Structure 1
Amino acid sequence: MTGIRGTLRRTRWRIGAAAGVVTALATGFALATTGTAQAAAGCQVTYAVGGQWQGGFSANVTVKNLGDAVNGWRLTWTFPSGQRVTQAWNATVTASGADVTATDVGYNAVIATNATASFGFNGSWSGTNTAPTSFALNGVACTGATAPPPTTPPPTTPPPATDAMTAVAAMQPGWNLGNSLDAVGPDETAWGNPRITPELLDNVRAQGFKSIRIPVTWSAHTGGAPNHTIAAAYLNRVKEVVDWALADGFYVMINIHHDSWQWINTMPTDRAGVLTKYNAIWTQLATTFRGSSPKLVFESVNEPQFTGSSGDAQNATLLNELNTSFHRIVRASGGNNANRLLVLPTLHTSSEQARLDELRSTFTALNDPFLIATVHFYGYWPFSVNVAGGTRFDATVQKDLTDSFDRVHDTFVARGIPVIIGEYGLLGFDRHTGTIQQGEKLKFFEFLGHYARSKKLTTMLWDNGQHFHRTGFTWQDPELFGQIKSSWTTRSGTASADQVFSARASAITSKTLTLNLNGTSFVGLRQGSTDLVRGTDYMVSGDQLTLTAAALTRLHGNRAYGVNATLHARFSAGVPWRINVVTYDRPVLADATGTTGAFALPAQFRGDQLATMEAKYADGSNAGPHNWTSYKEFDVTFAPDYAGNRIVLKPEFFAEVNDGAPVTLTFHFWSGERVTYRVARSGGTVTGTAG
């Protein structure tokens, strides 16, 4: 997959009243970190009493990482006056007498260099409330300085030579360095991403990823027949990046990537030419990397496909020939390649049963214990791109996922063959992650992580730059990554929605959400650091969570349009579920004129958010692209512009609208409101009418 998809786009993104004591401490510690050398370690802890009352107090603790990025922390201290922690947030806090231990809660386990992690608690005291002045992190006492790195390098743990299943399990979770070395163009910046740096890989490793897939497109960097020599500068650059990643401790996967649709796809009509070039590339790669760490993994080809073939039988024959030739070349090259883990894909990396069976036949014939199967997964297509009304993570979307993972597990994993989901995500994420509504996408990724774990599938997140910022080293959508990361180890509770709407034009009434406990138990509702009161602010009956009218009246405040308050439903495991309390009124649209190349209708959203759009002609037939459905594709045919107070109808929509045939648009909003609008195209001119 690629963010610049074009030809590849598939039809299948309390603070207390008084300021209290503040104690700042420099703390040395040793943690699992990343880097080519041993990690420097050190931190600063700020302990602040934010409010104190008779017998009780609240405190906040901030840990600033002064050393290399860390993943996983445990802070310990002893209360000098016998205080006790009664309630905590953003950390799990336990105590034995006056000795206290606070540990991360998964989603805040990573602390990058000079970044912080914070948690808070309420406590009790009697007599005095003296602040603790000594802390330890992960068992190492505070020293007040950055600890020097150890002189002994850490042991390496290459994959056991006889156990591919164990190695693939150790690769979980994985991340794709997409749209860089796989870019079709003169260099790795051709598709808009910056040059890869060691710092990028260090920071990816610090997020908790154990493996990295580095897609590589070779077509622009190979010479002519018969040798098809790879340009030395490019091959050296690929090796440089691979070596950085290996030094960071990653399992690393490299492949032949977009060549699959650039020239390998012509194999039905140019079998000899394609094989010659394909074999030449793998011969050079096998020679270059045969001395590399066993943690380097080769993938024969990305998303294999064939143009102009006679059908499934020929496709299977051609792919088997590629996979078999790849296997022969690598094994014959010697060195670590004799037992290197090799990844073989299905046709299109599809999880359809026929495609899985074809690949299994190849595995049977090769009879090699160091082989791995791979497929890709981007979800049920209407939901994945938000088309045909696929706005919600519903039973259909879930079944598509479970059916796919079940087939892969039963065909391979149950037979002792490990599987990597080499790419996963949502197709609508190609440009950004806003195509699918936030809460619905969070539920998708929560379930995907859980079900992949249950089926022993290693997953590699597709990231073409829309997720992890490659120079700022932050997540574009931290809430999304928090949910993904939590799903690697546990389940999280969710709910039927992450928004509660109250119309400003109406009286405020109670609102009910259905909780999806997912094996957890409901703990409570919190606004910031303040717990809402069960029985007064909300009620729980089975899986029904009801916010009372009185609580909503307080939360809505002056009832300005938009989000008035944010709550978090907390569960016994996983990340909290955010609930926005929103004031809205029915959106108002206005007349407009424009062209098929540039048309936008004025929109007063009035706190609401657009979910989808229908388009129909006067006779009731469907208008616009994908005319088998009235619901058009979000962000491809239309898109809300909240900052600009307008809804844009894109050229792709009008390209398939009949000239002179008025179209009625129905805009569906997340509040449940539906607003109609009419557009008429006359040549290149478009007229829009509200009402």
Structure 2
Amino acid sequence: MSPPPRLPILLAGAALLLAGTALVPLVSTSAAGATPLCTVQYATTNQWDSGFQGSVTITNNGPAVSSWALTFAFAGNQKVTQGWNAKWSQSGTTVTAANESWNGALATGANISAGFLASWSGTNPAPTVFKLNGVTCNQDTEPPTTPPTTPPTTPPGNPGAPPKLHVSGNQLVDQNGATRRMLGVNRSGGEFMCVQGYGFFDGPVDDASVAAIASWGVNTVRIPLNEECWLGLGNVNPAYAGTAYISAVRDFVGRLEAHGITPLVELHWTYGQYTGNSSGCADIHATCQKPMPNAQYTPAFWTSVANTFKADPAVTFDLFNEPYPDRATATADQAWACWRDGGTCPGIGYEVAGMQDLLDAVRATGATNLVLVPGIAYSNDLSQWLRYAPTDPAGNVAAAWHSYNFNTCSTETCWDSTLAPVAARVPLVAGEIGENTCGHGYIDRVMQWLDQHGASYLGWTWNTWDCSTGPSLISKYDGTPTAFGAGLRDHLRALS
């Protein structure tokens, strides 16, 4: 499922300025008392009734970089009107100064100054927090980057660590051999907020918000991600990309695990231009759902994600949100071959990475984490999943399915004929279930069928959107359910 349309991108101008710029992230390794990786001096050099002139002097104390971007936020209503020695842009109170083509190199110990003119009224306080390529300057250690900044805490009652799930026959079991099911919700935002220039997540992901999720009897949360944000590609605001984005995701994963919840990290939006049947957008960048992953960046994404979490077998991987090569190809066999093997696929103009490619990328890192592999037709069709399933040397793969009332396979007859054979062979995880009725009549049927077959399911989505724009489980982040969400909440609580 894709998130509802948002307002026009506030950082469109900044994104255009930064397009094609490959930023080199700084990696925070300083210990307490060490020199900060970067320092910034801010000064108001001249001020008059409605405007002022300001400057920043940036010193890089870390590794040399070939490009840079400085971000800070005004505390008042100041607005940058023009600048020099950098490409200046502003979204709300957040200001970005990115290097010009001629001053991108910043060696260790080097500094550079840039200036600007801005308007103001009322008060003109100086900014207090500055970030260079996503790393906070003027301090010895880097604080958590996920807003708000409350650290993970062990909740009352200490639920313990989440299970280390793995496949045993057609069931998921934990490290003690006990049968488990993944029952929970999706937490949308990580796939679109960063690339649209708004931040990391849509709404809070602090300890209180995770406690609200846990109060529903949830044991799993699926976290949609964006490959361009994770890899820190140049079209994404560097404040929300690369190391900053990865840190935000890791912080959220840590908070979930502190509540005994299994984190399910999933690739949602990817690079690659597709304008064919059922195209979500004409953009080459990761700003919508594409029919298949791309060979250029997606294997690298999964290599990085697997390396990040391979030491934590409690984290589960979901390879790709909703493949739909069947909308581009002429036959189902072509679609399934594309799905598994990738390469040059009919109707898709970029080189495709198949499910086998992505699984290979994960396993090549040594990661043995549980991996979910979705079907085609937006993950709603598993009819040939067993025939085309990728080979896993770790033997730790489950089938992922998505189900909405408006999908083709939305009846018990279809589930009995196409899902039951899969669920009899491998674990079945319904990564998304939902309906656009603002009620829960459909998911009640889905949950009943999945319960009978020992399968897992996660509701879409723990976000406060109006139900007319998409299935939203909550109206407030304290866990207040919508009518749709009440059905899932009550069912999960009855099972827990």
Give TM class, smaller chain.
Answer: 0.5 to 0.7
Report what 2:164 is aligned to.
Answer: 158
Structure 2: which amino acid aligns with 1:370?
Answer: N
Q: Partners of 1:216 and 1:320 in 2: how far apart?
A: 21
Q: Partners of 1:242 and 1:222 in 2: how far apart?
A: 18
* 1:262 to 1:255, Cα distance in 2 relative to 1, 3 A: farther
Structure 2: which amino acid aligns with 1:165?
Answer: Q
* 1:188 to 1:255, Cα distance in 2 relative to 1, 3 A: farther
Mapping for residues 8-407 of structure 1, pairs under 5 Å: 37-40=153-156, 154=160, 157-159=163-165, 162=168, 165-167=171-173, 170-178=180-188, 180-183=189-192, 185-186=194-195, 189=198, 193-220=202-229, 222=231, 231-259=242-270, 274-292=294-312, 294-306=313-325, 308-321=328-341, 322-334=354-366, 337=367, 339-352=368-381, 355-357=382-384, 359-363=385-389, 365-366=391-392, 369-380=395-406, 400-407=410-417
Report what 1:3 is aligned to.
Answer: 3
Q: Partners of 1:367 and 1:256 in 2: how far apart?
A: 22
Q: Partners of 1:272 and 1:475 in 2: how far apart?
A: 35
Q: Partners of 2:199 and 2:153 in 1: how far apart?
A: 32
Q: Partners of 1:342 and 1:361 in 2: how far apart?
A: 18
Q: Partners of 1:401 and 1:444 in 2: how far apart?
A: 10
Q: Partners of 1:38 and 1:315 in 2: how far apart?
A: 46
Q: Partners of 2:298 and 2:182 in 1: how far apart?
A: 29
Report what 1:487 is aligned to.
Answer: 491
Q: Partners of 1:309 and 1:446 in 2: how far apart?
A: 34
Q: Partners of 1:289 and 1:205 in 2: how far apart?
A: 22
| 8 Å Cα contact 1:409-1:455 kept in structure 2 | no
Q: Deviations over 1:128-159 (max 9, x none)?
A: xxxxxxxxxxxxxxxxxxxxx8xxx9476423
Q: Deviations over 1:471-510 (max 9, x none)?
A: 6413242x5444334434879xxxxxxxxxxxxxxxxxxx
| 8 Å Cα contact 1:344-1:373 kept in structure 2 | yes
| 8 Å Cα contact 2:267-2:321 kept in structure 1 | yes
Question: Which of the two has higher C-alpha Rg?
Answer: 1
Percent of pairs with identical residues: 15
Pairwise CA distance, 1:343? 0.5
Q: Partners of 1:3 and 1:38 in 2: how far apart?
A: 31
Q: Deviations over 1:237-261 (max 9, x none)?
A: 1122122212221111112102278
Pairwise CA distance, 1:205? 1.0
Pairwise CA distance, 1:291? 1.3
SS at match of 1:257: strand
Q: Partners of 1:323 and 1:427 in 2: how far apart?
A: 29
* 1:187 to 1:207, Cα distance in 2 relative to 1, 3 A: farther
Structure 1: which amino acid aligns with 2:446?
Answer: L
Q: Partners of 1:271 and 1:426 in 2: how far apart?
A: 22
Report what 1:449 is aligned to.
Answer: 447
* 1:206 to 1:370, Cα distance in 2 relative to 1, 3 A: same
Pairwise CA distance, 1:203? 1.3
Q: Partners of 2:291 and 2:481 in 1: how far apart?
A: 43
Pairwise CA distance, 1:192? 9.0
Structure 1: which amino acid aligns with 2:223?
Answer: I
* 1:472 to 1:324, Cα distance in 2 relative to 1, 3 A: closer
Q: Partners of 2:477 and 2:291 in 1: how far apart?
A: 45
Q: Partners of 1:271 and 1:317 in 2: how far apart?
A: 14
| 8 Å Cα contact 1:182-1:188 kept in structure 2 | no
SS at match of 1:328: helix
Give RMSD over aligned pairs.
Answer: 4.0
* 1:223 to 1:445, Cα distance in 2 relative to 1, 3 A: closer
| 8 Å Cα contact 1:445-1:487 kept in structure 2 | no
Q: Which of 464, 480, 485 matches 1:475? A: 480
| 8 Å Cα contact 2:222-2:264 kept in structure 1 | yes
| 8 Å Cα contact 2:464-2:473 kept in structure 1 | yes
Pairwise CA distance, 1:213? 0.4
Q: Deviations over 1:523-570 (max 9, x none)?
A: xxxxxxxxxxxxxxxxxxxxxxxxxxxxxxxxxxxxxxxxxxxxxxxx
Mapping for residues 503-542 of structure 1, pairs under 5 Å: none
Pairwise CA distance, 1:39? 4.0
Q: Which of 403, 425, 435 matches 1:426? A: 435
* 1:364 to 1:257, Cα distance in 2 relative to 1, 3 A: closer
| 8 Å Cα contact 2:336-2:388 kept in structure 1 | no
* 1:325 to 1:260, Cα distance in 2 relative to 1, 3 A: same
**Greater percentage in strand:** 1
Pairwise CA distance, 1:164? 6.9
Q: Partners of 2:250 and 2:207 in 1: how far apart?
A: 13
| 8 Å Cα contact 1:172-1:211 kept in structure 2 | yes
TM-score by length of 1: 0.40
Q: Partners of 1:400 and 1:261 in 2: how far apart?
A: 30
| 8 Å Cα contact 2:154-2:258 kept in structure 1 | no
| 8 Å Cα contact 2:232-2:242 kept in structure 1 | yes
Pairwise CA distance, 1:272? 13
Q: Partners of 2:250 and 2:161 in 1: how far apart?
A: 23
Q: Partners of 2:393 and 2:383 in 1: how far apart?
A: 16
Report what 1:459 is aligned to.
Answer: 457
| 8 Å Cα contact 1:171-1:211 kept in structure 2 | no
Question: Any unmatched runs of 5+ in structure 1?
Answer: 7-34, 42-148, 383-398, 434-440, 492-691
Pairwise CA distance, 1:400? 3.7
Structure 2: which amino acid aligns with 1:254?
Answer: V
Q: Deviations over 1:36-93 (max 9, x none)?
A: 555447xxxxxxxxxxxxxxxxxxxxxxxxxxxxxxxxxxxxxxxxxxxxxxxxxxxx
* 1:192 to 1:272, Cα distance in 2 relative to 1, 3 A: closer
Q: Partners of 1:407 and 1:253 in 2: how far apart?
A: 28
